[in-house]
Amino acid sequence: MRKRNESVTVEHERAAAAPAPLDKGCSLRHSLRLPAADTGMKRPLGRTSSFWWQFSICVICLLAYQQQGMYFFPSGCRHTVPAALWKNARGKDQLWFEDALGSSHPVILYLHGNAGTRQERGCCDCPVMSLCFSPLQVLSSLGYHVVTFDYRGWGDSVGSPSERGMTYDALHVFDWIKARSGDNPVYIWGHSLGTGVATNLVRRLCERETPPEALILESPFTNIREEARSHPFSVIYRYFPGFDWFFLDPITTSGIKFANDENVKYISCSLLILHAEDDPVVPFHLGKKLYNIAATSRSFRDYKVQFVPFHTDLGYRHKYIYRSPELPRILREFLGIPEHEHHH
């Protein structure tokens, strides 16, 4: 029987193949100032689909200050350096932070959830923000550079949200990171809605033969239509006649798919899925279903695919997996990082 105070790991492992060479020459136009729209964007969300977009996946807590090794770029991006560099980072300018990406630390591109932005406070309401914790601070304390940004229409970023536009933004931020990070490994981490952006991004990176070192999905769904149907807010409506036509069909016709279940069939890099059994926003069974699809996909035949569930008794729900004391070990073992290389 499973122990109540531990997370249990289910693994599907294969020998890792060497990734294709990474593109070194990419840069993000206007120093991370993302364009408001691209010519292929879908039409703006309709009123009904916008409602489902808003509740479909919930809040991610994001917090940091420059005295904790973080720099706010003037364009909706934020870079938090590893904890070992926090002291040196105080008072430094944007150029210093860009150069720091070339230091001997791995980089995580963190794609936040539906209601999150790069500036949102952490997990509590205390006025002394430096006393709070956030996923970004936890990852920083483990020795990672963490870069995150506001999707178009969120926070400081202009424009209107669209799946295509959000993926386009993430691709340019990834290229901006690769142009500055040298040979350091770059990982993609998506949470909640961000898992849809993440798999869209990584599928495109794999298609152009510049995959990241690994993809980490926290609280993922299979696709946005299944998530909307499974969301607790829809429980009183889903059995009404016309539910699909009135609520779900407008999502599809508005171009919102976030088809994680399709994307994983075209991704060729290691994949880690983290999901809490008591997640009230993205049901646990959707994360497990996505794992089962990925584990049997031919695209992962040379890569590791791992699923880590967190028991209900732990109380991590939708957005608190970062609190797990097991997370450092899980990441270290999955990414193959020796314990002494995790910097605290």
Cβ-in-10-Å burial (0-12, 13-18, 19+) of 201 comes to: buried
For the chain, the first-to-last Cα distance in angstroms comes to 34
Nearest to residue 78, comparing CAs of 134, 26, 32? 32
Q: What is the dihedral of CA 74, 135, 57, 267, to 10 degrees?
A: 90
CA distance 343 to 260: 32
H helix or E strand, kind and range, residue 214 = strand 214-218
| 117 contacts: CB under 8 Å, gap ≥ 6 | 62, 150, 154, 155, 156
Residue 134 annotated among the catalytic residues of the structure: no
Annotated catalytic residue, options 140, 192, 234, 299: 192
| 234 included as an active-site residue | no
- Helix 193-207 to helix 163-178 angle (10° resolution) is 60
Contact in structure between 114 and 192 (CB atoms under 8 Å): yes
Which one of 254, 279, 299, 324 is the catalytic residue?
279
Report how far residue 61's alpha carbon sits from residue 306's, in angstroms, rounded to the nearest whole number.
Answer: 25
Q: Which residues pair with 309 in a beta bridge?
A: 275
At 322, list the tokens.
């970062």
Q: Is 192 assigned a catalytic role?
A: yes
Catalytic residue chosen out of the listed positions 112, 145, 231, 318: 318
Check if the beta carbon of residue 134 is closer than 8 Å to that of residue 122.
Answer: yes
CA diameter of the chain: 61
Q: Which residues are catalytic?
A: 192, 279, 318
